[in-house]
Structures are given as structure tokens and as C-alpha cells.
């Protein structure tokens, strides 16, 4: 028995005992850091994610330079996976495809032969066994000095090979090509820019390190996308993005008039012609517009985007028609910007434009210094050997005599010529033909040349100003080779108002009302007295919206599902309306928690009763089937009423729990996601039965009103609200007692 007990104890001693909570927290932290640092976010040094860096490096090692022949893409992917990137082949190949798409990157790093996708369908590329690839000339800027001690190295996943931690990029690629990715609890969306503007701003910062962001923005006009388009954001909005590292860019298509046709010649970045044409055709079919006779896609290789819109009649101007199409289709888009980058300290953070360029210049100066020091060391090594050769020619006859007569001539030759061990080995290994007179002249010429180079590099290394001049010259040469005019024009005029619908057919005002039990009714006009509405017994008012008769509505249920209702279903109601189950295929027990007008092109803040949430842009809220689609992963909780968010103006969100804890945080801290669980908007203890009772969005000039059933409402002003601003992962702060007059009966309003 004792022997058995001893065996059990020995086995137990080999295991570490820890609580499930501690283990889960540690494991998830390790996973999240791995995703952030090794998968999703780019480095400020070369602007690449790890998989992209590994692809470029592997292709270089395979000899697939811009001057080489093309090789099968499968050969490259096999090398990347087998040596550096132990992940799925399809994801790795897709990363390689993006590096080759001229409509995804301003300057592709991979040149492809075969089908690599189109702007209209980027994922229509052929399988890797069919395509061939090699590096582009632009990629030379990342690899040309990699062997000159310019980068740090680390072991690969199995410890058998070394791979570069970053590439010695000669340009701030992070801004030139941009990047996007979703990590754990954070994401990045960096737009591409014009290489000439970025280089000019960088050289300006090298000359004047104390330059302000406004100084740099006199040079950098704004993003420059590979698919052209026109930026219509206000100058103040663009300045805000570059000052704080986050914001939104409004981008729209460009067009010209050709006879009676409107020709769309470019569309917003990451928009697709097929979807735009479908959006317009749907409006024609539903008779929302009658001023368009036909629409066709005449895009080809010469014209990647050429959408022909044939106008019918003369009742509407081209400006009015385009104003309507900008409003109702993807001919205009909001692009999120989040300059979240892994810095040289290996930590992710959101940086402004000056911080990005300053940090990159520091990195590049360090790389240049290491490269020059490596070259100097090699030159000095060669000079050391050449000086030995010169001494050989001077004492040639004596050296030959010593070699022929002495058993061990080493010491006497070293003494005679004053040589080092290394020099002695070099002259002993000289070939006889190297002793010719012509060879002596060649050695002397090479020695003279190398000493001049040694002097030049030594001067460079001794002066930080000379190093900066060297870097500026290098950047200007790159600008000369790769610079080009802007593709994306910028219109800072007050054009955002043209997003309003100016043309349509039989557009009327409607008020839509839903009840708590899920019944819907429509009333003409916006002057509807909600207090006088009639509902079924046991039912009551829940929510209403003022809409136009051609708008599209989105409905949300407690299970996290979203449904759409098109305008052809809008009929002015008689009596108590109709159940929403008539329009949608709903699960048993489904309860509608809210509705929004998608046509307003506002984003929506979604939240679960457990306090997790995210922002969803209007593009992601379109649903084709009556079954709806899953939007929010609520698990064991329920979704709560969604909130419209104006990303341009709304600055904060307010969240309140059933235990009267309140927290206010910046909206920019909430990720934009197409669907999912989201992130914590407030920290509710796991052991608590607490739920979310209110969430709203707050502008800087607004206050929070507490309304009661039998008491006068009270207002929490700016000074008090400031006390509740804190990080979203915090518990929040208990609401002051003077606002808690009716438990469970208080309503909250942003004013």
C-alpha cells in the first residue's frame, strides 16, 4: 500500500497545480500577445506583418528577384510554410496574392503571372499550382542590405534556421502601402499614401526634427489609394486623423459625362463594381428611381473601372443624380483609420503621423549606421591583406629564398615584413601568377581606392549630420525612381451635404412604430402623436422612427439576429398593425429589441446584456433572406437595443448597469466589426447577476438626463460626467444617490 501511495505521489509531483481562472487568463494573454505581435499588426520598421515578411524573405532566398524568371507560387508557399510560417497554406497564399494586387497596394511587392484576382473580385485568384511569381523592383528596397548587419535575427519555429525580425526597408512603407488587420482587443487600418509626399515629409523631418504635425501636413495632403477615387473629408477631419491616429475618411467615386451617359471611372477603395451595379439595379426594379434607363459594366484591362449609366429624360441634373447615387450606393464610402502599429520597442500603440516618421527615421539611421560599419569593417579587412601583398612585392626575392631554404620560414618572414598572422596566411596562399608586375599595379590601385572609401565612410560615421545627409540622398533617389503623381484627388470643400437624397420618385415621409410584442405599423408624415396610438390588449409602444418611403430598415432581436425590411413592404397601417413575423422567419420566443434606418448610413453600436459590444457599419447590416443573419454573439446573455452612432460627431459612449454603475469612454476604443461578440464596454464581475440597462452615445456638448415617473427629472452636467470617464475595462463608478430616486423605474436620455 505504501509503495502504491509513493508511486501516486511521484506522479502528482510532476504536475503543476493552478486554478482554472489563472490558467485561462495566462493562456489567453499568451495567445493574444502572439496574435498581436506575430500575426495581425504590422511593424513600423518595414510596414509588414510577419507572414508578409516571411514570404518576401523566402522568395529572396529562392533567388526570385525582380530580374529572375518566374516560379510556381506553390514552390514559394511550400518554402514559407516549411521553413518560417507553420500555419495554413491557403491563408499564406492569400497574403501573397494581396502583395501582388495593384488595386490593393500602391506598390506591390510581388509580381505575378496568371490570375491574381480583380478589383471587382479580389478573391477570384487561381490556385497556387497555376500561378507564377517573383519579387518586384520595389521589394529590392527591403532586401538590398539584409546581409550587412542591418537587421536582428531570430530562430524559426523549429530552431533550425534564422529569419529576420524585420527587413531593412529604405522607405516608410507602413504609410506608403498601408495595412489592415484584426488582432485580439485591437485592430489596425492604415491607409496608403503617395510615396513622393511621404519622402518629402520624411526629409523635412530629418532637416527639422522639431517640425510640428501641421508642418508635415503642408506636405502630406492625405491618403492616396491605388484605386483612385476622391476624398471629400473636411480638412479638419484629416488633420484630426494625423494628430490623434484615429478617425474616418469619406471617399467617393469619380465620374465624367459622355453624351447622355454618366461614366464612373473610379470607385472607393475596396468597393466592387458588381455590388454597386446591383444596388442601382435594385432601385430601378423597385421603382425608387426612374431617371436611369440602363446601367452596364464596360470595365476592361485598360479601364479597370468603367460603369456606364444611361440617363432617361431631362428632369434631373447630373449633379442631382450622382448626389442620390452617392447617398444610396457604395459609390461613396466611409473608411476607418486607426494608426495602430508595432513600434521599435515591440509594443503596439496608436501613433500620430509625426511619431511614425520620427520613429522610422531613427530606425533607418540605425540601419544605415550598421550597414556602413559593416562595409568599413570589410574594407579594413581587405586593406589589411592588400598591405601584406605590397610588402610581398617589396621583399619578394628574400621571401622566396626563405621559403626555399628554411624548414620553418614563418617567423623570419613575419619578422622581415612585419606581418600579422592573418597577413602571413594570405601571402603564403598567393598564387604564382599573382606575383607578376601587372598584378602589383592592380593591388596598389585597389589599395588606393579602398583607402579613399575607408576615409569617406569613417567621415560619415563620425558625424550624425553626414549620416542624415546620406539618408536624405538615398530617399530622394528612391523618389526619383518610384515617385508619381497622386491617384486620389482631395476635395476639402463642403460637399458632405450632397449626401442628402435630392432625387427619387414619390418619396414621402413615414413614421414607423413597433410595439413591445413585435407588431409594426406605418403612419403618414412625421407629425404622429405617439401617445394616442392604439395597441392590442397587453401590448404597448416600444420604439418609433421617422423615415422616408424609400428607406431600408434593419430590425434586431434579443438573440443577436438582424433582419431587413425593404420599402416595398411599407403600407400605411389601419388598426393595430401587423406582426413582424409576417415579414421575417422568426424563432419561437423571438423579441424585437430595436430598429434602425440603414439608409441614413450611420453605424450602430451593438451591446449584449453582459456588457460586450462593438460598432457595425451600415454596409454590414444588409440582409437578403427572411431568416436574417447572426450579428451579435450573445451566448447566454441577450442583445440590448442598438444605438445609432455618427462616427464623425459622437465622441463617447455611456453605459449603465442594473446595480447603478456607470462608465463613459471614447467611442474610438470600441472596435468596428462585421459581427461577433465584441469587447468589454464595462467590467461586470463574473459572479454578479448584474446586466446592462442603458447604453447611449454622447457628444461633447451634451448632458445626461435622469427621468422618473413621479418626480422631476434631473440632469447630470459636464462637470459631473467627467468623473465617470475611464477605461472600458474598469468597473465603472456608482451613480451618485441624488440621481437614484426611483429604483428600476428611471429612464435615461442624452440631451
Beta bridge partners, 305, equal none
Task: Specify the number of domains making up the chain.
Answer: 4
Is 565 within a domain? yes
**Domain match, 618 and 679 both:** yes
**Domain match, 612 and 728 both:** yes
**Cβ neighbours of residue 560 under 8 Å, at least 6 residues apart?**
608, 630, 631, 632, 633, 634, 639
pLDDT at residue 8 tops 50: no
Q: Read off the pLDDT of each residue in 626-632 and give the average, rounded to a whole number.
A: 91
- Angle (CA) 118-122-127 rounded to 5° is 95
Is 340 within a domain? no
**Cβ neighbours of residue 453 under 8 Å, at least 6 residues apart?**
379
Task: Categorize the per-residue pLDDT at 427 as very low, low, confident or very high, splitting at 50, 70 and 90.
Answer: confident
**Cβ neighbours of residue 238 under 8 Å, at least 6 residues apart?**
217, 222, 231, 247, 249, 492
- Domain CATH number, residue 618: 2.120.10.90
**Domain match, 606 and 592 both:** no
pLDDT (tens digit per residue) in 542-584: 999 999 988 889 999 999 999 998 876 777 777 788 999 999 9
CA distance 459 to 466: 8
Task: Categorize the per-residue pLDDT at 13 as very low, low, confident or very high, splitting at 50, 70 and 90.
Answer: low
How many Cα atoms sit within 13 Å of 92 on the Cβ side?
Answer: 25
Query: Could you say which of 130, 424, 652, 748 is catalytic?
Result: 130
**Domain match, 596 and 606 both:** no
**Domain match, 590 and 685 both:** no
Last residue of a domain, one of 532, 566, 600: 600
The DSSP code for 420 is: -
Last residue of a domain, one of 132, 154, 169: 169
Nearest in space to 370 (alpha carbons), one of 50, 48, 203, 153: 153
- Domain CATH number, residue 92: 3.90.199.10
User: If you write DSSP's letter for every residue of 450-483 in order, what string do you get?
Assistant: HHHHHHHHHHHHH-HHHHHHHHHHHHHHHHHHH-
130 is catalytic: yes
Q: Helix, strand, or coil here: 497?
A: helix
Nearest in space to 138 (alpha carbons), one of 470, 478, 477: 478
pLDDT (tens digit per residue) in 477-527: 999 999 999 999 998 765 544 443 444 456 789 999 999 999 999 999 999
Higher pLDDT, 312 or 7: 312
Q: What pLDDT does 183 receive? A: 67
Which of 83-92, 195-204, 283-292, 406-415 ranks highest by mean pLDDT? 195-204
pLDDT at residue 34 tops 60: no
Q: Read off the pLDDT of each residue in 656-680 and give the average, rounded to a whole number.
A: 93
Q: What pLDDT does 30 receive? A: 63
CA distance 387 to 513: 94
Q: What pLDDT does 10 receive? A: 46
| Structural domain harbouring 102 | 41-169
Nearest in space to 706 (alpha carbons), one of 685, 737, 728: 737
Q: Dig out the grid coordinates for 647 from the structure.
A: 462616427
Is 268 within a domain? yes
Is 52 within a domain? yes
**Domain match, 151 and 118 both:** yes
Q: Are 289 and 283 within 8 A, CB to CB?
A: yes
- Domain CATH number, residue 263: 3.30.1360.40
pLDDT at residue 647 tops 60: yes
Q: What is the side-by-side order of every strand in the sheet holding 246-252?
A: 179-182, 187-190, 332-338, 246-252, 230-231, 489-490
Q: Read off the pLDDT of each residue in 159-179 and give the average, rounded to a whole number.
A: 95
**Domain match, 662 and 551 both:** no
What does pTM read for this prediction? 0.68
Is 434 within a domain? no
What percent of the chain has a predicted confidence (pLDDT) above 70? 92
**Domain match, 518 and 622 both:** no
**Domain match, 617 and 586 both:** no
Is 7 within a domain? no
Beta bridge partners, 332, equal 252
Strand pairing of 489-490 and 519-524? unpaired
Is 263 within a domain? yes
Core vs surface per residue 270-284: b (16+ CB within 10 A) or e = bbbbeebbeebeebb
**Domain match, 706 and 607 both:** yes
Q: What pLDDT does 17 receive? A: 80
Higher pLDDT, 424 or 150: 150
**Domain match, 656 and 538 both:** no
**Domain match, 636 and 588 both:** no
Q: Read off the pLDDT of each residue in 53-60 and give the average, rounded to a whole number.
A: 96
Q: Helix, strand, or coil here: 246?
A: strand
Last residue of a domain, one of 308, 330, 352: 330
pLDDT (tens digit per residue) in 217-272: 999 999 999 999 999 998 988 999 999 999 999 999 999 999 889 999 999 999 99
Q: What pLDDT does 503 receive? A: 43
Is 83 within a domain? yes
Mean pLDDT of the residues in the chain: 89
Amino acid at each position: 500500500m505504501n509503495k502504491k501511495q509513493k508511486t501516486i505521489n511521484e506522479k502528482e509531483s510532476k504536475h503543476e497545480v493552478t486554478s482554472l481562472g489563472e490558467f485561462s487568463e495566462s493562456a489567453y494573454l499568451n495567445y493574444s500577445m502572439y496574435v498581436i505581435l506575430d500575426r495581425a499588426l504590422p511593424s513600423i520598421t518595414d510596414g509588414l506583418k510577419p507572414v508578409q515578411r516571411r514570404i518576401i524573405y523566402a522568395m529572396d532566398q529562392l533567388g526570385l528577384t525582380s530580374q529572375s524568371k518566374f516560379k510556381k507560387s506553390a514552390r514559394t508557399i511550400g518554402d514559407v510554410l516549411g521553413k518560417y510560417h507553420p500555419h495554413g497554406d491557403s491563408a499564406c497564399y492569400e497574403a501573397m496574392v494581396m502583395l501582388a494586387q495593384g488595386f490593393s497596394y500602391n506598390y506591390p511587392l510581388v509580381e505575378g503571372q496568371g490570375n491574381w484576382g480583380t478589383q471587382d473580385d479580389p478573391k477570384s485568384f487561381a490556385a497556387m499550382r497555376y500561378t507564377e511569381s517573383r519579387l518586384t523592383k520595389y521589394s529590392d528596397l527591403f532586401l538590398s542590405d539584409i546581409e550587412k548587419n542591418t537587421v536582428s535575427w531570430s530562430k524559426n519555429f523549429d530552431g533550425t534556421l534564422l529569419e529576420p525580425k524585420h527587413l531593412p526597408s529604405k522607405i516608410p512603407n507602413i504609410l506608403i502601402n498601408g495595412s489592415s488587420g484584426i488582432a485580439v482587443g485591437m485592430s489596425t487600418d492604415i491607409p496608403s499614401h503617395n510615396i513622393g509626399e511621404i519622402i518629402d515629409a520624411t526629409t523635412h523631418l530629418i532637416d527639422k526634427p522639431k517640425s510640428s504635425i501641421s508642418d508635415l501636413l503642408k506636405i502630406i495632403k492625405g491618403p492616396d489609394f491605388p484605386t483612385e477615387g476622391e476624398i471629400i473629408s473636411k480638412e479638419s477631419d484629416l488633420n484630426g486623423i494625423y494628430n490623434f491616429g484615429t478617425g474616418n475618411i469619406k471617399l467617393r467615386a469619380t465620374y465624367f459625362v459622355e453624351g447622355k451617359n454618366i461614366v464612373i471611372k473610379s470607385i472607393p477603395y475596396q468597393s466592387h463594381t458588381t455590388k454597386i451595379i446591383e444596388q442601382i439595379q435594385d432601385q430601378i426594379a423597385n421603382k425608387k428611381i426612374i431617371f436611369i434607363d440602363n446601367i452596364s459594366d464596360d470595365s476592361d484591362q485598360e479601364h479597370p473601372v468603367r460603369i456606364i449609366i444611361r440617363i432617361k429624360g431631362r428632369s434631373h441634373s447630373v449633379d442631382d443624380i450622382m448626389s442620390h447615387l452617392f447617398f444610396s450606393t457604395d459609390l461613396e464610402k466611409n473608411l476607418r483609420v486607426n494608426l495602430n502599429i508595432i513600434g521599435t520597442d515591440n509594443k503596439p500603440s496608436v501613433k500620430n503621423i509625426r511619431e511614425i516618421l520620427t520613429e522610422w527615421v531613427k530606425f533607418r539611421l540605425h540601419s544605415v549606421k550598421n550597414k556602413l560599419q559593416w562595409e568599413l569593417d570589410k574594407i579594413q579587412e581587405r586593406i589589411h591583406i592588400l598591405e601584406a601583398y605590397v610588402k610581398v612585392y617589396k621583399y619578394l626575392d628574400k621571401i622566396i629564398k626563405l621559403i626555399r631554404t628554411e624548414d620553418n620560414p614563418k617567423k623570419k618572414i613575419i619578422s622581415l615584413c612585419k606581418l600579422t598572422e592573418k597577413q602571413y596566411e594570405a601571402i603564403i596562399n598567393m598564387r604564382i601568377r599573382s606575383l607578376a608586375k601587372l598584378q602589383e599595379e592592380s593591388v596598389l590601385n585597389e589599395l588606393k581606392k579602398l583607402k579613399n572609401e575607408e576615409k569617406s565612410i569613417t567621415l560619415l560615421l563620425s558625424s550624425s549630420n553626414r549620416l542624415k545627409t546620406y539618408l536624405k540622398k538615398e530617399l530622394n533617389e528612391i523618389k526619383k525612381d518610384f515617385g508619381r503623381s497622386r491617384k486620389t484627388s482631395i476635395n476639402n470643400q463642403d460637399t458632405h451635404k450632397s449626401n442628402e437624397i435630392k432625387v427619387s420618385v414619390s418619396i414621402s415621409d413615414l413614421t414607423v412604430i413597433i410595439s413591445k410584442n413585435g407588431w409594426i405599423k406605418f403612419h403618414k408624415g412625421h407629425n404622429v402623436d405617439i401617445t394616442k396610438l392604439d395597441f392590442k390588449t397587453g401590448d404597448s409602444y416600444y420604439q418609433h422612427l421617422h423615415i422616408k418611403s424609400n428607406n431600408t430598415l434593419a430590425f434586431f432581436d434579443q438573440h443577436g439576429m438582424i433582419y431587413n425590411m425593404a420599402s416595398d413592404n411599407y403600407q400605411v397601417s389601419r388598426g393595430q398593425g401587423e406582426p413582424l413575423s409576417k415579414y421575417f422567419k422568426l424563432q419561437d420566443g423571438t423579441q424585437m429589441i430595436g430598429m434602425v434606418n440603414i439608409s441614413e448610413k450611420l453605424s450602430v453600436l451593438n451591446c449584449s446584456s453582459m456588457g460586450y459590444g462593438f460598432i457595425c457599419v451600415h454596409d454590414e447590416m444588409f440582409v437578403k433572406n427572411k431568416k436574417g443573419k447572426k450579428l451579435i454573439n450573445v451566448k447566454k446573455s441577450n442583445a440590448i437595443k442598438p444605438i445609432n452612432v455618427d462616427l464623425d460627431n459622437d465622441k463617447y459612449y455611456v453605459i449603465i448597469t442594473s446595480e447603478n454603475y456607470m462608465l463613459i469612454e471614447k467611442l474610438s476604443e470600441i472596435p468596428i466589426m462585421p459581427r461577433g461578440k465584441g469587447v468589454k464596454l464595462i467590467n461586470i464581475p463574473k459572479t454578479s447577476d448584474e446586466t446592462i440597462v442603458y447604453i447611449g452615445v454622447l457628444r461633447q456638448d451634451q448632458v445626461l438626463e435622469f427621468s422618473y415617473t413621479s418626480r422631476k427629472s434631473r440632469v447630470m452636467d459636464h462637470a459631473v460626467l467627467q468623473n465617470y470617464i475611464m477605461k472600458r475595462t474598469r468597473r465603472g463608478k456608482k451613480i451618485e444617490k441624488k440621481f437614484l430616486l426611483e429604483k428600476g423605474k428611471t429612464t435615461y436620455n442624452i440631451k
